[in-house]
């Protein structure tokens, strides 16, 4: 295992400490229990937004803490849900009296631990709502999930719900738009290579030199099928076809096209994929109104990508365009 | 070779086309000869800034085209200098009558081809100045270089010179601040793994499973030494020591600390490295006034990182903080 780390057991602690030092203008980091909070939290009268989950998917979630997006992120161990304790601490830290929204990717551990934390927060008088993201069309149930997994759509939910909270929407309104984004987002990914969880020290799965996994999960959990490597255009088509038919996306729709890297694939490849995706959508009469290309929800050093399509309405476009100032997503200020 | 590509010979063309489609609000892409130009170029009365070089280092340089940074980028084939033709075309496309600055990384091919293009542009009445970046302390001469190589410092030169041009500085003034940034920047990198140039189809060099290359170039060219893998803190110390003694950086200095990923290393690792670098600088009494962490000048899917330190003065801080709106670096608008 070749990694730029010290003790494999201290990867998350040291990385979060480095993140806090590099972005002290945006966040403050609490180490016991570990959570990352927007520097100016809590903000009186604003709905707080908390997300979290296993580490190893950076910049998700800590990279999205800041103005116009998350108020707090709770990192678990690598590929392991955080326990209720730090989720509760983060929820209390961002409660400005208007309630707190939990954005939870649909993995069994995350859902349970966020539920427990929400219950504990309610006992303390905090109004908590939860939105569970489940945009991955690849598989119905999986190694870690009942129902579909939450993947790339989560980034879009966090941005758009964050903008709604920032403009002063109520908890019900913020939860509603988060649900709406999730309901209109569909994703699927593929992997060229596995990744290595530091404390495990070995590859999470194996792929032959000419093999790729279609429908991979963000923890390397199995997808739909293993195929021989083929040209990029064919790979993009294999991801887009099930995405398009699932919602379905139809001629005349306006979408946000999100081509996401799994962490180890260079940008040149992501833009080659973007080119083909844009071509396919154009042929179908689907308008790409907004785009996002880069490494936003990753699996450590895994090579691969995912594609997310979000069917946009006017309010989502307005909230997507609203200013955001986080370590990994920033515009308008 | 596992990559998300179609024809290895069309990697750059297809990737640039995808980039243009994804960022049509920021840039326009010309395919013959290939160059990427700021959407609103040329801007009358503003110094134009052109950079370029071999592809495979994305987001450098196309990802830095836009308000407050580059007016044009010229991508060569992967790890291969662009020819004078597209450099000349880009120079003409961004000439707003105030002259054009070429920012050139110090590699023999780049320097020669930019010189030829500058001569040809002069013949056509365009005032061209060139700044050659050479911030890599690892080696004196290298496989592709007489003198030191231009690496991470180039990103900082492009941002700061771009801000100077945007505020209306003259060609001499923009060139002066670009030279000053380069003169005060020092970098060094390391690689855990090689990368594969698509048209070559095999690894550019080999490293044993427990070996890393200290002082690696951004094309995988040899550095100072190969050592056995060691913990992150030791690796950071090995990069920082020669950087610190070279300028030298001293107690009381204010710096920008730039921890750059080579493309294939996850963010968790870069922040672990940042943490140690901040610790070392703190012990030396060097103040980190600004930071940048992420994949900004890469070597395809290579795993590894580089560290760049820039000794700041007040003007550099002001220009660093000035608004920038590009695909890969954005704040303030």
Could you tell me if residue A267 is inside a domain?
yes
According to DSSP, residue A150 is labeled P
Q: Where are the alpha helices (DSSP H) in chain A?
A: 11-22, 84-94, 108-123, 153-166, 171-183, 232-246, 267-283, 314-321
Quick one: A159 and A46 in the same domain? yes
Q: Encoding tokens for residue B272?
A: 């672990």
Could you tell me if residue A279 is inside a domain?
yes
Using a CB–CB cutoff of 8 Å, tell me whether B204 touches chain A.
no
Measure A293 CA to nearest chain B CA, in Å. Answer: 8
Supply φ then ψ for residue B65, to 5 degrees. Answer: -85, 125
User: Which residues of chain A neighbour B304 with C-beta distances below 8 Å?
Assistant: 4
Cross-chain Cβ contact B268/A300 below 8 Å: yes
For B68-81, give the DSSP string: TSBSEEEEEEETSP
> If you count them, how many residues does chain A have?
333
Could you tell me if residue A3 is inside a domain?
no
Supply φ then ψ for residue B85, to 5 degrees. Answer: -50, -60
User: What residues make up the domain containing A171?
Assistant: 8-183+322-331
Centre a 10 Å sphere on the Cβ of residue B210 and count the other Cβ atoms it contains. 11
Quick one: B177 and B189 in the same domain? no
Residues 15 through 54 of chain B touching chain A, CB cutoff 8 Å: 15-19, 21-23
Quick one: A177 and A231 in the same domain? no
User: Which residues of chain B neighbour A330 with C-beta distances below 8 Å?
Assistant: 330-331
Cross-chain Cβ contact A333/B331 below 8 Å: yes
Cross-chain Cβ contact A267/B298 below 8 Å: yes
The predicted-structure confidence for B137-165, as pLDDT tens digits, reads as follows 998 877 777 899 999 999 999 999 999 99
Residue B2 is nearest to which of A263, A266, A303, comparing CB atoms?
A303
List of chain A residues with pLDDT < 70? none
Strands lying side by side in the sheet with A48-55: A27-31, A34-38, A72-78, A48-55, A100-105, A128-133
Residue B15 is nearest to which of A55, A268, A300, comparing CB atoms?
A268
Measure A314 CA to nearest chain B CA, in Å. Answer: 19
Supply φ then ψ for residue A220, to 5 degrees. Answer: 80, 10
- B1, B4, B64, B195: best to mutate for the A interface, most A CBs within 10 A: B4
Residue B233 is nearest to which of A6, A55, A270, comparing CB atoms?
A6
Radius of gyration of chain B (CA): 19
Cross-chain Cβ contact A298/B267 below 8 Å: yes
Quick one: B26 and B42 in the same domain? yes
- Cα–Cα distance, A76 to A83 (Å, whole number): 7
Helix (H, G, I), strand (E, B) or coil at A221: coil
Burial of B201 from C-beta contacts in 10 A (0-12 / 13-18 / 19+): exposed
- Cα–Cα distance, A136 to A294 (Å, whole number): 18
Quick one: A219 and A135 in the same domain? no
Using a CB–CB cutoff of 8 Å, tell me whether B248 touches chain A.
no
Q: Where are the alpha helices (DSSP H) in chain B?
A: 11-22, 84-94, 108-123, 153-166, 171-183, 232-246, 267-283, 314-321
Cross-chain Cβ contact A266/B55 below 8 Å: no
Q: Encoding tokens for residue A104?
A: 């939870």
- Cα–Cα distance, A283 to B75 (Å, whole number): 29
Quick one: B155 and B212 in the same domain? no
Using a CB–CB cutoff of 8 Å, tell me whether B287 touches chain A.
no
CB A291 within 8 A of CB A32: no
Q: Of the candidates B279, B307, B181, B2, which has an alpha carbon nearest to the alpha carbon of residue A17?
A: B279
Residue B6 is nearest to which of A55, A59, A231, comparing CB atoms?
A231
Quick one: A71 and A113 in the same domain? yes
Could you tell me if residue B330 is inside a domain?
no
Measure A20 CA to nearest chain B CA, in Å. Answer: 9
Could you tell me if residue A68 is inside a domain?
yes
Quick one: B105 and B25 in the same domain? yes
Residues 163 through 182 of chain B touching chain A, CB cutoff 8 Å: none
Could you tell me if residue B327 is inside a domain?
no
Using a CB–CB cutoff of 8 Å, tell me whether A267 touches chain B.
yes
Number of structural domains in chain B: 2
Using a CB–CB cutoff of 8 Å, tell me whether B227 touches chain A.
no
Cross-chain Cβ contact A18/B271 below 8 Å: yes
* Contacts with A111 (C-beta within 8 Å, 6 or more apart), sequence order: A104, A132
Q: Encoding tokens for residue B160?
A: 């700061």
Could you tell me if residue A132 is inside a domain?
yes
Four-CA torsion A92, A93, A98, A100, nearest 10 degrees: -70
User: Which residues of chain B neighbour A272 with C-beta distances below 8 Å?
Assistant: 4-6, 11, 14-15, 18
List the catalytic residues of B: 57, 219
Instruction: Return the bridge partners of A38, or none.
Output: A27
User: Which residues of chain A neighbour B230 with C-beta distances below 8 Å?
Assistant: none
Task: Name the domain boundary from B183, B209, B243.
Answer: B183
Catalytic residue among A23, A35, A57, A61: A57
Using a CB–CB cutoff of 8 Å, tell me whether A126 touches chain B.
no
A199 is catalytic: no
Could you tell me if residue B328 is inside a domain?
no
Quick one: A224 and A157 in the same domain? no
According to DSSP, residue B205 is labeled S
Helix (H, G, I), strand (E, B) or coil at A5: coil
Quick one: B221 and B131 in the same domain? no
CB A163 within 8 A of CB A68: yes
Measure B130 CA to nearest chain A CA, in Å. Answer: 27
Task: Name the domain boundary from B183, B198, B214.
Answer: B183
Quick one: B113 and B132 in the same domain? yes
CB A94 within 8 A of CB A49: yes
For the domain that residue A115 is a member of, what is the CATH number? 3.40.50.10440
- Cα–Cα distance, A269 to A192 (Å, whole number): 12
- Cα–Cα distance, B8 to B31 (Å, whole number): 17
Task: Name the domain boundary from B149, B183, B217.
Answer: B183
Rounded to 5, what percent of chain A is helix, strand, coil? 35, 25, 40
Show pLDDT as tens, one digit a residue, over chain B (333 residues): 899 999 999 999 999 999 999 999 999 999 999 999 999 999 999 999 999 999 999 999 999 999 999 999 999 999 999 999 999 999 999 999 999 999 999 999 999 999 999 999 999 999 999 999 999 999 887 777 789 999 999 999 999 999 999 999 999 999 999 999 999 999 999 999 999 999 999 998 899 999 999 999 999 888 899 999 999 999 999 999 999 999 999 999 999 999 999 999 999 999 999 999 999 999 999 999 999 999 999 999 999 999 999 999 999 999 999 999 999 999 999
For the packed helices B108-123 and B84-94, what is the interaxial angle rounded to 10 degrees? Answer: 50
Cross-chain Cβ contact B272/A11 below 8 Å: yes
Quick one: B303 and B254 in the same domain? yes
Residues 47 through 106 of chain A touching chain B, CB cutoff 8 Å: 55-56, 58-59, 63, 78
User: Which residues of chain B neighbour A270 with C-beta distances below 8 Å?
Assistant: 4, 18
């Amino acid at each position: 295992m070749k990694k730029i780390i010290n003790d494999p057991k201290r990867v998350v602690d040291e990385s979060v400490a480095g993140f806090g030092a590099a972005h002290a203008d945006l966040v403050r980091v609490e180490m016991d229990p570990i959570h990352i909070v927007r520097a100016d939290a809590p903000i009186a009268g604003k709905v707080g937004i908390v997300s979290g989950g296993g580490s190893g998917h950076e910049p998700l979630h800590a990279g999205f803490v800041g103005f116009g997006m998350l108020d707090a992120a709770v990192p678990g161990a690598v590929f392991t849900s955080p326990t209720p304790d730090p989720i509760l601490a983060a929820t209390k830290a961002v409660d400005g009296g208007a309630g707190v929204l939990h954005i939870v990717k649909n993995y069994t551990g995350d859902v349970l631990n966020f539920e427990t934390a929400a219950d504990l927060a309610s006992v303390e008088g905090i109004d908590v709502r939860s939105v569970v993201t489940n945009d991955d069309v690849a598989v119905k149930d999986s190694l870690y999930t009942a129902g579909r997994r939450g993947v790339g759509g989560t980034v879009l939910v966090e941005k758009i719900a964050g903008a709604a909270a920032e403009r002063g929407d109520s908890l019900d309104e913020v939860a509603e738009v988060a649900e709406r984004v999730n309901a209109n987002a569909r994703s699927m990914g593929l992997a060229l290579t596995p990744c290595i969880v530091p404390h495990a020290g070995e590859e999470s799965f194996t792929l032959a030199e000419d093999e790729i996994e279609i429908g991979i999960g963000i923890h390397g959990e199995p997808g739909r099928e293993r195929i021989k490597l083929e040209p990029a255009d064919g790979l993009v088509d294999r991801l887009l076809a099930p995405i398009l038919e699932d919602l379905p996306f139809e001629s005349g729709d306006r979408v946000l096209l999100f081509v996401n890297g799994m962490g180890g694939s260079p940008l040149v490849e992501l833009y080659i994929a973007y080119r083909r995706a844009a071509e396919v959508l154009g042929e179908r009469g689907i308008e790409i109104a907004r785009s996002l290309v880069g490494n936003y929800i990753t699996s450590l050093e895994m090579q691969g990508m995912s594609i997310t399509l979000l069917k946009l309405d006017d309010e989502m476009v307005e909230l997507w365009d609203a200013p955001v100032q986080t370590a990994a997503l920033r515009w308008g200020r």
